[in-house]
Structures are given as structure tokens and as C-alpha cells.
Amino acid sequence: MTVTRFAPSPTGYLHIGGLRTALFSWLTAKHNNGKFLLRIEDTDMARNSEEALEAIIKAFDWVGLDYDGEAVYQSKRFDLYKQYTEQLLEEGKAYKCYMTREELDALREEQMAKKERPRYDGRYRDFTGTPPEGVEPVIRIKAPQEGVISFVDGVKGEINIAASEVDDFIIARADGTPTYNFVVAIDDALMGLTDVIRGDDHLYNTPKQIVVYNALGFRIPKFYHVAMINNEQGKKLSKRDGATDVMEYKTQGFLPEALLNFLVRLGWSYGDQEIFSLEEMIELFDPKDINKSSSSYNLDKLLWLNAHYIKNTPNVKLAELLKDFGVDVVEHDKLEMLLDATKERGKTLVELAEQIRLILHTPTEYDPKAVKKAFKGEAKEILTDFIAMLQTWEKPLHLPSDYHAVLEKIVEEKGIGFGKIGQPLRVSLLGAMTGSGLDEIMAIIGVDETIERIERAVATIE
């Protein structure tokens, strides 16, 4: 059975790079009817944040990436890690190192002066003498001293690293707390991981973890190291570019479906297809198809996808989502008409909410530039005649088509172009030269409100 995981550290919020890794891992598990596990790597007690942890869980809930079983917390497994440390010591595969910080700094300065790569020199590897007094030892694992550490990366191909590049790294600090590469290897093995998908900033952690796997007799999983997401200039993604808290995307009015669709295409493709439902992602995704090269964050693409998903979201669901953006139209008697008129114009839920407010709220002021352009010449007369026509119209005025007929009539009777009525009418109804179709707006607010708004505008025209 395929088993994947996502293992965030609660020292900060979940960013989109992490969410993409989680998505790739989740899709791999789902595609193979396997398991997707969540592990919280919270061994850094000084930097852990309960708020960040809650934000990570909340982000998972928002995008709908469910995980199997309970989340595993490394902070609750220290006794387990200690057992494996003791096992390696007893088997002679690890040892106590009494090197002081001063000695280590001096060694590094000496190596750098010789233009050598700084590394521990193994001076306590086979130490049998009397331990120096007053020094709490760290525990180092015995890394192989010759040969090659090899593994096949599912994205990058075969990786060969000389064993000499990996020194006897620390697996437990002087205070007994275990180190990252040690606990990651143990947890991945004990949780039954078959595939480890992560950013390629972890690529050179892999040889160290393989050393741990081999020392403990664990099976080594398949690794996939995914290239980073760059900004549009090809540089590392910053907060300004979009490397922000995932929940900020919710605040900005993005739909989780759009964000996941956007992320799956950052480093993976299926022909020329751009839009994928979650079901299609599960069916088509294969980690072996992950691109080797870095991908570029493109906000315009994300906005385009979000607009697509907004247009295709049922109006009842949209109405519920809009509550978070200060617009409650769930009980509006013309809900369908209102959202059909506006959702083509909103790339985000924030923009959609603004379009709805524009229609539902009577303007209290008018955009000066729009006034200068629209309220001139015959505008006052045309608007006044339009009011009269609405008041005396013999047929019911309910649908946009009903109001469109009135617009056509005044254009015909006055012998004017549509702009002569369209521009001043739009500013009268919305206060600006923007918004949905005029016939839709009037049908939504009704004939009485339409007349009232026009009369209010006419009163301002000199």
C-alpha cells in the first residue's frame, strides 16, 4: 500500500510551497488507494507556536486535504527516539562525542583557512579513554567512511554522494533532544512511508537519513524532491510574491478549489489541460511526472482560475461563502439573478462582494469623473423621460428583458444612441461607470428603487 505524509513544523504558518508538497503527497496516496498521514514536527520547543499549529490544521480543513488517522506529534515521541539512540550506542553504531563548542569552532576555522569544507573530524569515533570532566556529550552516528551513498530520486533520477561528504552527524544533543534527520528517518520508517515527497531543499538531508535507515535496519522509501516555486523573475518566492499564509488566500477571496488547481500545475502537467477537478487530479496525478525544473508563481493565472471556479460555483454555496465578506444575500428574493449578474465580474469573492454591494446599496455620492462624462447635454431630460416611461409602462417589470424593452423604447423614441441613456443611467444607479448590465441591475433592485435612484441623481444635475 502507498503511504505518504506531510510533516510541517509549527514554527510558522503553512505557506503555499508547503501546501503544494502536501497536495502532491495527498494525490499520490489517493491515486493509489493508499494512506496520507500528517505528522507535526514540533521538537523545537523554543520556536513552536500553538497559533501556527492551529493555522496549519485550519488550512488543511479549508482546502479539504483529509488525512488518515490521528496527527502524529514528534514532541510526544521523545522516549521512542531515546530508545533508538540507546540501541545504536549499544550496537556500536553511534558514540558519545565530548568535543566542546570551542574545539568545534577552532576546527572549523582551521578547515576554512585551508579552504576545506567544515566538518567534524571524527576524533571521538573510536574513543576509549576517560571522558573529559564537565562536558555533556552529544551522540553522533557512525556514518560510512568510504564508498557512495546512492538513491534513485523519482524526480531527479539517480543521486550519488560520496560517503566522505557525510560526517558523523549528531543524532542527540547534549540535553538529550534528538535532531531533525534522526527523528524524520525513524518516524518515516515506523509510519510505514513508501513515498516521501518534499521540496528539493531537503535533497541533501536524504543521505543522512539513509545512514539512519541503514543503521537501524529500516526499509528506505522512494524519494521525490520537488523543485522550488520561483517568482515571475525566476527568484525565490517571497511574501510579496505570494509565499504567504495559506489562510490569507481565503481572506483575499480565493476558493480552495482554485488554489489547489493552481498549485497542482506548479511543477506538474497533463498535456495542455489547465483546469482540473479534484477527482481528475486524483485520477491523473503521478509523482513520476513532476517536472525537474522550478515553476513560476503567476498571480494572473491564479486569478483566472479563481474566476472560473466562482462562475461555476452554485449560487446557494456562493451566498454562504459571501457571508465572510460582509455580504449576506442568502435570503434575498432575487438571489439567483443577483449572483448571475455579478459573478462574471468578480475574480475573487472580495470583488464579487463589492459588485453586489454596488447594486444593493443606494449610492450616496457619484464618481466625479463619471459625472463629468455622463451628466451632460441632454442627460437630465433623457433620465426624466425614462422615469416617466417606467412609471407608465403597461407591462409588468420583473425580468431583465422587461427593463431592456423600456431601454429600447426610449432609445427609439428619442432617436439617440444607447450610450446617451446608458451612461447617465449607470451613474444614477451605481454612482460610477462600472458594474453589471443595466437591465439586470434594475430587475434586481425593482422599479421603485430604480426610479428613486434616478430621481436622486437628476436632482444633482445642474
DSSP string, 304-330: HHHHHHHHTS-HHHHHHHHGGGT---T
Q: Is the domain of 87 the same as that of 50?
A: no
Within 10 A of 110 (CB to CB), how many other CB atoms are there?
A: 12
pLDDT at 404: 95
Establish if 307 belongs to a structural domain.
no
Q: Is the domain of 203 the same as that of 103?
A: yes
User: Which residues define the annotated binding site for ATP?
Assistant: 239
Establish if 134 belongs to a structural domain.
yes
Residue 390 pLDDT level (bands cut at 50, 70, 90): very high
Establish if 334 belongs to a structural domain.
yes
Q: Is the domain of 82 the same as that of 188?
A: yes
Kindly state the average pLDDT of the residues 284-299. Answer: 93
- Look up residue 351 and give its amino acid: E
Residue 199 predicted with pLDDT over 70: yes
- Angle at Cα 12 formed by Cα 11 and Cα 16, nearest 5°? 135
Q: Is the domain of 294 the same as that of 324?
A: no
Q: Measured between alpha carbons, how far is 264 from 273 in angstroms, rounded to an integer? A: 11
Which H or E run includes 206?
helix 206-216
Q: Measured between alpha carbons, how far is 186 from 171 in angstroms, rounded to an integer? A: 11
391-396 long-range contacts (CB < 8 A, ≥24 apart) are 391/451
Kindly state the average pLDDT of the residues 415-424. Answer: 92
Q: Is the domain of 64 the same as that of 96?
A: no
> What is the maximum alpha-carbon separation in the chain?
109
- Angle at Cα 6 formed by Cα 309 and Cα 34, nearest 5°? 85
End-to-end Cα separation, the chain, in angstroms: 78
Model confidence, pTM: 0.90
- Look up residue 412 and give its amino acid: E
pLDDT at 109: 87
Q: Is the domain of 440 the same as that of 384?
A: yes
- Residue 35 backbone dihedrals phi, psi, to 5 degrees: -120, 145
Q: Measured between alpha carbons, how far is 135 from 433 in angstroms, rounded to an integer? A: 76
Residue 45 predicted with pLDDT over 80: no
Query: CA-CA distances (angstroms) from residue 324 to 14, 251, 252, 303, 321?
Result: 21, 8, 11, 19, 6
Establish if 328 belongs to a structural domain.
yes
Q: Is the domain of 138 the same as that of 70?
A: no
pLDDT at 299: 92
Residue range of the domain that includes 68:
3-74+228-299
Q: Is the domain of 273 the same as that of 158?
A: no
Query: CA-CA distances (angstroms) from residue 430 to 46, 364, 434?
Result: 54, 9, 8
Establish if 178 belongs to a structural domain.
yes
- The count of domains in the chain is 4
Within 10 A of 76 (CB to CB), how many other CB atoms are there?
A: 10
Query: CA-CA distances (angstroms) from residue 24 to 196, 220, 257, 296, 321?
Result: 10, 20, 15, 17, 27
Which residue carries 513520476 as its cell? Answer: 288
User: Which residues define the annotated binding site?
Assistant: 239
Residue 21 predicted with pLDDT over 80: yes
pLDDT at 46: 67
Q: What is the DSSP string of 265-290?
A: TSS---TT-----HHHHHHH--GGG-
Establish if 256 belongs to a structural domain.
yes
Order of all β-strands in the sheet with 3-6: 3-6, 35-40, 72-73
Within 10 A of 241 (CB to CB), how many other CB atoms are there?
A: 17
Q: Identify whether 239 is a catalytic site residue.
A: yes
Summarize pLDDT for 26-35 with one digit per residue, the tens. 999 999 999 9
Q: 222-226 and 195-199 as β-strands: parallel, antiparallel, unpaired? A: parallel
Summarize pLDDT for 120-170 with one digit per residue, the tens. 888 899 998 889 988 999 999 999 999 999 999 999 999 999 998 999 999
Surface-to-core class of residue 134, CB atoms within 10 Å of its CB (0-12 exposed, 13-18 middle, 19+ buried): exposed
Kindly state the average pLDDT of the residues 210-238. Answer: 91
Q: What value does the CA radius of gyration of the chain take, rounded to a whole number of Å?
A: 32
Q: What is the DSSP string of 77-121?
A: -HHHHHHHHHHHHHTTSEEEE---HHHHHHHHHHHHHTTPPP---
CATH code, domain with 402: 1.10.10.350
Share of the chain above pLDDT 90, in %: 77
Decide: 402 and 440 in contact? Cβ < 8 Å. Answer: no
Q: What is the DSSP string of 388-432?
A: HHHHH--S---SHHHHHHHHHHHHHHHT--HHHHHHHHHHHHHSS
Q: Is the domain of 236 the same as that of 138?
A: no
- Look up residue 87 and give its amino acid: Q
pLDDT at 361: 94
Q: Is the domain of 345 the same as that of 211?
A: no
Q: Is the domain of 123 the same as that of 198?
A: yes
- The catalytic residue among 76, 236, 239, 372 is 239
Establish if 60 belongs to a structural domain.
yes
Summarize pLDDT for 85-119 with one digit per residue, the tens. 999 999 999 999 999 888 888 888 888 888 888 88
Establish if 305 belongs to a structural domain.
no
pLDDT at 122: 86
CATH code, domain with 238: 3.40.50.620
Q: 138-141 and 170-172 as β-strands: parallel, antiparallel, unpaired? A: antiparallel
Residue 243 pLDDT level (bands cut at 50, 70, 90): low
Q: 295-296 and 229-230 as β-strands: parallel, antiparallel, unpaired? A: parallel
Surface-to-core class of residue 156, CB atoms within 10 Å of its CB (0-12 exposed, 13-18 middle, 19+ buried): middle
Residue 280 predicted with pLDDT over 70: yes
Q: Is the domain of 83 the same as that of 218?
A: yes
Residue-averaged pLDDT of the chain: 93
